[in-house]
């Protein structure tokens, strides 16, 4: 049984985030990139959440379906304009199958790391590939492990420090696991939410893709197709079936 970390208050407050990932400057290039790859074919978002990306993509004329573990996240999606165009299946993105073949399957916002074992991450690639038609693409957007910033023996790194939110990542390099600890201030008290991840390098993702019958086609530092370098904090990778 998989734990749902995006239930209750987390789902209710997800779209109230001040994170730049919710800004039009990020979402417009994201949707532009994906609409180009879809090339008029239907798209499937793994871990569709509240439709942050699916809704702008659907508004550009792409037929979007989704798979999502958290019913509470999908409830948030359902009350938004345009949600009636999006079919969502509640289930696990490593194993849940939906009807049809897709020209594009995508998994964004570091969510590959929500799968906590290498086996589950491989299963996710295999499930994505099973939904793709030949020539279709699987796109993953995820952060780079920031181990260059961890001196030997140190395990914590601060990733956010504002009036209302403190965020710390806690690394275990032996297991490739990390916990993201969030402390969110609601005006009276801090609410803590700690979420486990398995970080993964691009080269390991390429091997997972190969196991699933996919080949790397493009890798960029972001949705604007800026070059991916050793300094890039994240990447957008595209594998083709
Ligand atoms: C960071 S949110 C991203 C949501 C959405 N894709 C976005 O970009 O805003 C991570 C999402 O992954 C979902 N999730 C986590 N593990 C999952 C799994 N094994 N199968 C399906 N969805 C999963 C969570 O419920 C949550 O909605």
- Positions of E strands within 98-155: 102-107, 132-143
**Residue 17: pLDDT above 80?**
no
Superfamily for 8-145+201-240?
A: Vaccinia Virus protein VP39 (3.40.50.150)
Residue 41 near residue 103 (C-beta atoms within 8 A): yes
Q: Could you report the per-residue pLDDT of 178-191, keeping only the tens digit for each?
A: 999 999 898 999 98
Q: How many CB atoms lie within 10 A of CB 177?
A: 16
Q: Could you report the per-residue pLDDT of 96-110, keeping only the tens digit for each?
A: 999 999 999 999 999
Q: Could you report the per-residue pLDDT of 148-157, keeping only the tens digit for each?
A: 889 999 999 9
Whether residue 127 has its Cβ less than 6 Å from ligand 1: no
Taking the domains of the chain in order of start, what are their residue ranges? 8-145+201-240, 147-193
Which residue has a Cα nearest atom 13 of ligand 1? 47
Pocket test for ligand 1, best of 52, 114, 117 (most atoms within 8 A of CB): 114
């Amino acid at each position: 049984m998989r734990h749902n970390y995006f239930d209750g208050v987390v789902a209710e407050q997800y779209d109230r985030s001040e994170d730049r990932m919710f800004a039009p400057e990020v979402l417009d290039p994201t949707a532009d990139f994906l609409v180009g790859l879809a090339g008029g074919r239907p798209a499937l978002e793994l871990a569709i959440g509240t439709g942050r990306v699916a809704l702008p993509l659907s508004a550009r004329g792409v037929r979007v379906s989704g798979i999502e573990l958290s019913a509470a996240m999908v409830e948030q999606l359902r009350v938004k304009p345009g949600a009636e165009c999006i079919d969502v299946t509640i289930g696990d993105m490593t194993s849940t199958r939906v009807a049809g073949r897709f020209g594009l399957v995508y998994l964004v916002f570091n969510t590959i790391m929500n799968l906590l074992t290498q086996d589950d991450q491989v299963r996710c690639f295999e499930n994505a590939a099973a939904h793709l038609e030949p020539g279709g693409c699987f796109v993953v957007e995820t952060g780079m492990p920031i181990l260059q910033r961890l001196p030997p023996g140190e395990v914590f790194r601060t990733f956010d420090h504002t009036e209302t939110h403190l965020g710390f990542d806690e690394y275990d390099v032996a297991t490739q696991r990390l916990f993201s600890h969030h402390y969110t201030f609601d005006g009276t008290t801090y609410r803590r939410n700690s979420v486990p991840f398995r970080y993964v390098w691009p080269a390991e993702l390429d091997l997972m893709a190969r196991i699933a019958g996919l080949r790397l086609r493009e890798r960029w530092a972001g949705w604007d197709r800026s070059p991916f370098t050793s300094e890039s904090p994240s990447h957008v990778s595209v594998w083709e079936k």
